Amino acid sequence: MASVERTAYPRFKRTMTSRELHQAFTPGTAEVMWARGKARSPEHLLALVVLLKSYQKLGYFPDLDEVPKLVVEHVRGLLELGAQVEPRHDSTRTAARQRDFVRERLGVVYDPEKARQVAEAALYEAVQTKDNPADLINVALEKLVKARLELPGYTTLDEMTSAIRTEVNEEFFAAIVSRMDEVEKARLLGLLRVPAGARSRFDELKRPAKSPTISHLRDHLKFLDGLELLGRTGMWLAGVPPGKVTHFSGQAQVLDAAELGKVGVVKRLALLASLLHSAKVRARDELVPMLCRRMGAITKKAKEDLEKIRERHREESERLLAVLGEVLEAAKDAVGFDGESVTLPRTVRGRNNVHRECGEAVLAKLEKAGGLAKLSEDHELVSAHHGDNYFPLLWRHFKSHRKVLLDLTEILEMVATSTDDTVLQAVEFCQAMRHRSSHWVPLTYTVTKEDGTEETRTVSAEHASQMWKRILFDKRHPDKINRRHFEVSPCPT
């Protein structure tokens, strides 16, 4: 039984202020004159006025014994009746006649059958999308008030709601289970088995996401893959309103494996399907804040790197200048630079030999200084300091996360919130280039559409800020974009 306190079913308050008492239970002059014309005794007069004001407040007739003494005393005083006068009826016939007087004056209808029909129709309609008994009762009350019908007793509404809710839910349960084959049913019921010394897989459906470390992200993606393998919940729950799925899932959530095992098999399977579906939705929803927090941590590390670079930038700059000096000296020696000009051989073979010797000398110096890869990375670090830009430093922290984060964006179904879909195109481009190793890649890429045909598209970097565009594009690489920096570039906020 739903608690009456959780519904809008009208009832007397336990305590009333003087203002509430005056506004709700003070009869007007016309009402008093009307009541005096209908009542034959002070007791009947007091009872009639109390019933009139109670109906106006509640929408139904309470037993006179249920009317708060405060209300009776208030009405008695306004009618100037003695303290010994109590509201009462001499017979059930008198009570029925007074209720008819009130209905006639207020223009309301007493039709229990029609009231039941209106309430049932409202409940059958509402229960298709709602499940909370209190919400269902409130819908029925609203329809009854609009129809100007006398409200039935609360227990009548509660029993009606319970019966209709059970009937409709059982239809939903049967529809859900009818879409499962025997293998899927067995797989779901297997979630309730508790291995010796371990927890059931049913409990895993309730687990929350962990902190967004890279290992936890990998585990969460595996968890989501495992949920997908358990069953086609989207197909099973097709046509079931989301509110119903949420409520069925909530029912399963509060039960343990042993308690759910005692539920009827059809309902048990439906509740398990709803919980599994909600677990999938929650797991996907949890991926978004995990991704954002992970990228936030990467950004924080890049900013910390920039601060460290600022501290040691002089030493790094001097070292790189020293390397540049050694490279220049090697090149001078190779080409015979005399301090003013370079005299190259006149023959093609001679010039090629000089160029080869120069290249070998330069590469030897670069290799001795740490190699091209290391020097390129150091150059980016120092350049970031001089430009006060930490963006080039993000990749070094992102690269260990790259696979799992690309997997994550592949699993998430992203939808543009406006007509501008450049960010979605950017994600699509990253997926198309995920197996490329080169830094600079073409702006065009190929995607396979749903019908199996291929389409060539061109990525746009319009979502990137100007600072990002400075490191995404280079005039030395026309019609190309830096894949690494593009993958880690953020969306505009």
> For the ranges 62-76, 123-137, 192-206, 306-320, which has the lowest average pLDDT?
306-320
- Asked whether residue 290 is assigned to any structural domain, the reply reads no
Question: What confidence category does residue 86 fall into, taking pLDDT thresholds of 50, 70 and 90?
Answer: very high
Query: What percent of the chain is predicted at pLDDT more than 90?
Result: 34
Report if pTM > 0.95: no
pLDDT of residue 210: 80
pLDDT of 307-321, one tens digit each?
Answer: 777 666 667 777 777
pLDDT of residue 349: 81
Query: Domain check: are 153 and 65 in the same one?
Result: no
Contacts of 116 (CB under 8 A, 6+ apart): 152, 160
Please report, for the chain, how many H helices and E strands are present, in that order: 22, 4
Indicate the average pLDDT of the chain. 85
Contacts of 131 (CB under 8 A, 6+ apart): 165, 169, 243, 244, 247, 248
- Asked whether residue 259 is assigned to any structural domain, the reply reads no
Better pLDDT: 284 or 382: 284
Residue at which a domain ends, from 157, 178, 199? 178
Query: Domain check: are 480 and 459 in the same one?
Result: yes
- Structural contact between residues 384 and 396, judged by C-beta atoms closer than 8 angstroms: no
- Asked whether residue 241 is assigned to any structural domain, the reply reads no
Question: 446 pairs with which residues across the strands?
Answer: 456
Query: Domain check: are 362 and 425 in the same one?
Result: no
Query: Domain check: are 12 and 43 in the same one?
Result: yes
Query: Domain check: are 383 and 320 in the same one?
Result: yes
Query: Domain check: are 71 and 10 in the same one?
Result: yes
Query: Domain check: are 92 and 147 in the same one?
Result: no
Better pLDDT: 314 or 442: 442
Query: What percent of the chain is predicted at pLDDT more than 70?
Result: 95
Q: How far apart are the first and last CA of the chain?
A: 49
The domain total for the chain is 4
Residue 389: how many other CB atoms lie within 10 Å: 16
Query: Domain check: are 323 and 371 in the same one?
Result: yes
Residue at which a domain ends, from 129, 152, 178? 178
Better pLDDT: 363 or 173: 173
- Structural contact between residues 381 and 316, judged by C-beta atoms closer than 8 angstroms: yes
Query: Domain check: are 95 and 118 in the same one?
Result: no
- Asked whether residue 140 is assigned to any structural domain, the reply reads yes
In sequence order, which ranges of 107-213 are alpha helices (DSSP H)? 112-126, 133-146, 154-178, 182-190, 201-204
- Asked whether residue 395 is assigned to any structural domain, the reply reads no
Query: Domain check: are 118 and 102 in the same one?
Result: no
> For the ranges 27-31, 126-130, 181-185, 417-421, which has the lowest average pLDDT?
417-421
Q: What are 40's two structure tokens?
A: 């034959």
Average pLDDT over residues 198-203: 80
- Which residue range is the domain that position 168 belongs to? 112-178
Distance CA 353, CA 359 (A): 10
Q: 220-259 burial by CB neighbour count: b if 16+ within 10 A, else e?
A: bbebbeebeebbebeebbeebeeebbbbbbebbeebeeee
Query: Domain check: are 99 and 131 in the same one?
Result: no
Question: What confidence category does residue 299 fall into, taking pLDDT thresholds of 50, 70 and 90?
Answer: confident
Residue at which a domain ends, from 150, 178, 206? 178
* Residue 492 pLDDT greater than 50, yes or no: no
Query: Domain check: are 62 and 78 in the same one?
Result: yes
- Asked whether residue 86 is assigned to any structural domain, the reply reads yes
pLDDT of 229-276, one tens digit each?
Answer: 888 999 999 999 988 999 999 989 888 888 898 999 999 999 999 999
Question: What confidence category does residue 385 fall into, taking pLDDT thresholds of 50, 70 and 90?
Answer: low
> For the ranges 124-133, 329-338, 467-476, which has the lowest average pLDDT?
329-338
Average pLDDT over residues 3-27: 89
> For the ranges 235-249, 409-423, 443-457, which has the lowest average pLDDT?
409-423
* Residue 213 pLDDT greater than 70, yes or no: yes
Q: What are 436's two structure tokens?
A: 């490329």
